[in-house]
């Protein structure tokens, strides 16, 4: 009877050793103490908190990195629009003094083409989202960019330029500004969303870069975001640029014969183009500051996540060297148990015989 009891005890020990080997094998395979929080015992609440914090920071990092990509594309667009504004500001010199008729015609044609390019740039997309559309990111901020020169605003400004007669320069310049500022449907080239209701407010697209730390980065096509235009301005660098380009596009060689009024008109929209150049430079600078701020946030999240991940690994992961040693020791003990069972069974059989 004692031999039977000994065999049973050895068999139970072998079963426990096999279970231990299974656990150790899984730990060696996964590097973790177990599949559930129960494996870390009393440290389970801390592990849960660490994992939650890591997940939250990873979400922030993903959002910030996506936003940084949008900002970089937006900066490229603003750089190109700024270059266009600078080019035509400089080119106004060719329209003053003894401007040749063919030069006026060339500048007018180029300005009309530039209007379409600016409008197309303001319709730039990233991952299917319109970057300058405000919160209405699924629809273009300028519905018909290629036809902007023949939009209500474009045609009306060119008509005003055509009406310039040597006695109405103040009226013409004031009206061109009013037309460029207009949000009236049928006049403005911008979308209904940007021109009316919530879309016409100063609110900008933003993200939560950290707990209770919201960062604005969006720019609407029809209004300044972080800067204020000065000088001869519609209060929007985009509108100032489009007003200037439309004014140039409306010029004809005969207007140069108007003398001082012609010079005054050209000087006025040149000042408007200068305002666009200055405001665009400030807008790019402000967006660059936002980019740097978000990069710092992302770096902070990454650094903290690294520390938290190390803390979590200390709770959830095994010491691989110790685990392998324990596995080998347990395996040796199991083999010894099998030998002991065999010997006990042999002794029992001998006694029976």
DSSP string, 199-239: GGSS---EEEEETTEEEE----TTS-SS----SS--S-HHH
**Looking at residue 1, what is its pLDDT?**
46
Instruction: Give the whole-number percent of the chain exceeding pLDDT 70.
Output: 80
| Residue 25 domain flag | no
Average pLDDT over the chain reads: 88
pLDDT tens per residue, range 26-67: 666 566 665 666 666 777 888 888 999 999 999 999 999 999
**How long is the chain?**
353
pLDDT above 60 for 261:
yes
What phi and psi values does residue 54 have, to the nearest 5 degrees?
Answer: -65, -45
Q: Which of 26, 295, 294, 267 is nearest to 170 (CA)?
A: 267
pLDDT above 60 for 197:
yes
pLDDT above 60 for 353:
no
| Residue 55 domain flag | no
pLDDT above 70 for 200:
yes
Whether 223 contacts 202, CB under 8 Å: yes
Number of domains in the chain: 1
**Looking at residue 66, what is its pLDDT?**
97
Question: What span, in angstroms and rounded, lies between the C-alpha atoms of 124 and 131?
Answer: 6
Question: What span, in angstroms and rounded, lies between the C-alpha atoms of 44 and 298?
Answer: 28
Does residue 105 or residue 319 have the better pLDDT?
105
Question: What span, in angstroms and rounded, lies between the C-alpha atoms of 123 and 143?
Answer: 9
Structure tokens at 253: 């060689």
| Residue 114 domain flag | yes
| Residue 189 domain flag | yes
Helix (H, G, I), strand (E, B) or coil at 131: coil
Look-up of token digits 């139970």: 12
| Residue 54 domain flag | no
pLDDT tens per residue, range 281-306: 999 999 999 999 999 999 999 999 99
| Residue 284 domain flag | yes
Which ranges in the chain belong to alpha helices (H)? 2-30, 44-91, 101-122, 152-162, 169-181, 192-195, 237-249, 260-316, 320-352
pLDDT above 60 for 2:
no
Confidence of residue 11 (pLDDT cuts 50, 70, 90): low
Beta strands 213-216 and 125-126: pairing type? unpaired
| Residue 314 domain flag | no
Structure tokens at 289: 């500051």
| Residue 272 domain flag | yes
pLDDT tens per residue, range 99-115: 899 999 999 999 999 99
Range of the domain at 273: 61-304
Structure tokens at 205: 């697209």
What's the CATH code of the domain at 252? 1.20.1330.10
Question: What span, in angstroms and rounded, lies between the C-alpha atoms of 305 and 24?
Answer: 28
Structure tokens at 43: 């440290």
Question: What span, in angstroms and rounded, lies between the C-alpha atoms of 187 and 154?
Answer: 8
**Looking at residue 45, what is its pLDDT?**
87
pLDDT tens per residue, range 134-178: 999 999 999 999 999 999 999 999 999 999 998 999 999 999 999
Whether 316 contacts 32, CB under 8 Å: yes
């Amino acid at each position: 009877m004692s031999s039977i009891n000994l065999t049973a005890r050895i068999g139970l020990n072998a079963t426990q050793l096999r279970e231990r080997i299974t656990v150790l094998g899984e730990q060696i395979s996964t590097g973790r103490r177990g599949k559930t929080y129960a494996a870390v015992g009393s440290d389970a609440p801390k592990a849960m908190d660490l994992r939650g914090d890591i997940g939250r920071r990873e979400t922030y990092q993903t959002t910030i990195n996506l936003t940084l990509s949008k900002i970089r594309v937006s900066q490229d667009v603003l750089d190109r629009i700024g270059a266009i504004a600078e080019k035509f500001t400089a080119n106004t010199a060719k329209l003053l003094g003894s401007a040749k008729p063919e030069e006026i015609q060339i500048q007018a044609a180029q300005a009309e083409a530039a209007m379409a390019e600016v409008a197309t740039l303001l319709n730039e997309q990233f991952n299917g989202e319109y970057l300058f559309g405000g919160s209405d990111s699924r629809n273009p901020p300028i519905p018909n960019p290629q036809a902007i020169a023949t939009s209500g605003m474009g045609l009306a400004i060119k008509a005003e330029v055509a009406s310039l007669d040597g006695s109405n320069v103040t009226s013409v310049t004031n009206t061109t500004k009013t037309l460029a500022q207009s949000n009236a449907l049928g006049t403005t080239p911008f979308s209904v969303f940007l021109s009316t209701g919530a879309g016409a407010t100063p609110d900008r697209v933003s993200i939560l870069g950290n707990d209770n730390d919201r960062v604005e980065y969006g720019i609407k096509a029809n209004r300044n975001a972080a800067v204020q235009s000065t000088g001869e301005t519609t209060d929007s660098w985009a509108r100032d640029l489009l007003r200037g380009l439309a004014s140039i596009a409306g010029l004809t060689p005969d207007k140069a014969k108007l003398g001082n009024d012609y010079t005054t008109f050209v000087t006025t929209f040149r000042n408007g183009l200068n305002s666009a150049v200055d405001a665009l430079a400030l807008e790019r600078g402000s967006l660059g500051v936002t980019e740097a701020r978000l990069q710092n946030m992302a770096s902070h999240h990454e650094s903290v996540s690294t520390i938290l991940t190390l803390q979590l690994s200390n709770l959830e992961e095994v010491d691989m060297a110790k685990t392998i040693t324990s596995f080998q020791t347990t395996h040796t003990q199991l083999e010894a148990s099998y030998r002991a069972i065999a010997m006990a069974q042999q002794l029992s059989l001998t006694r029976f015989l």
